[in-house]
């Protein structure tokens, strides 16, 4: 497995989660459709994550002269508990991990297997932004 995401044709693959590059990968795995943009953060959140959802045309006046795009509330924030333990890379061991940004289909898919107390928990997601 490569420590950096791999690019093949119209897809970018991630086969590991690295704390060192996780913020970089949030940007790399972002989705956008011209109206809304969403950073590629993990749905369950983690320490050091920077979730971001942005809508075109919504700005705020910052401290400087230029307007700044507003980071609206994150609609993807999930808290999943299994056997009383929060499903998260902060709380559990990651056995397998794979994310694929498919730029032809405009989707971000994820498959992660967590382990805790001798049990395995499989998590899958498919993210897309509608054009309607």
Give the per-residue pLDDT at 62.
76
- Total number of residues shown for the chain: 132
List, for residues 63-78, the tens digit of each pLDDT value: 888 888 999 998 888 8
pTM: 0.85
Domains and CATH numbers, the chain: 6-128 (2.70.98.40)
pLDDT of 89 strictly over 70: yes
- Residues ≥6 apart with Cβ < 8 Å to 121: 82, 87, 92, 113, 114, 115
Q: What's the mean pLDDT when you consider all of the chain?
A: 89
List, for residues 5-46, the tens digit of each pLDDT value: 666 689 999 998 877 788 889 999 999 999 999 999 999 988
């Amino acid at each position: 497995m490569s420590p950096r995401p791999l690019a093949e044709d119209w897809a970018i693959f991630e086969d590991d989660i690295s704390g060192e590059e996780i913020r970089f990968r949030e940007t790399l795995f972002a989705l956008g459709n011209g109206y809304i943009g969403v950073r590629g953060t993990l749905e369950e959140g983690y320490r050091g994550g920077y979730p971001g959802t942005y809508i075109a045309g919504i700005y705020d006046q910052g401290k400087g002269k230029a307007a700044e795009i507003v980071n609206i509330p994150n609609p993807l924030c999930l808290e999943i508990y299994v056997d009383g333990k929060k499903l998260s890379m902060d709380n559990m061991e990651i056995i397998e991990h794979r994310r694929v940004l498919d730029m032809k289909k405009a989707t971000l898919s994820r498959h992660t297997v967590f382990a805790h107390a001798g049990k395995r928990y499989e998590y899958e997601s498919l993210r897309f932004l509608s054009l309607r």
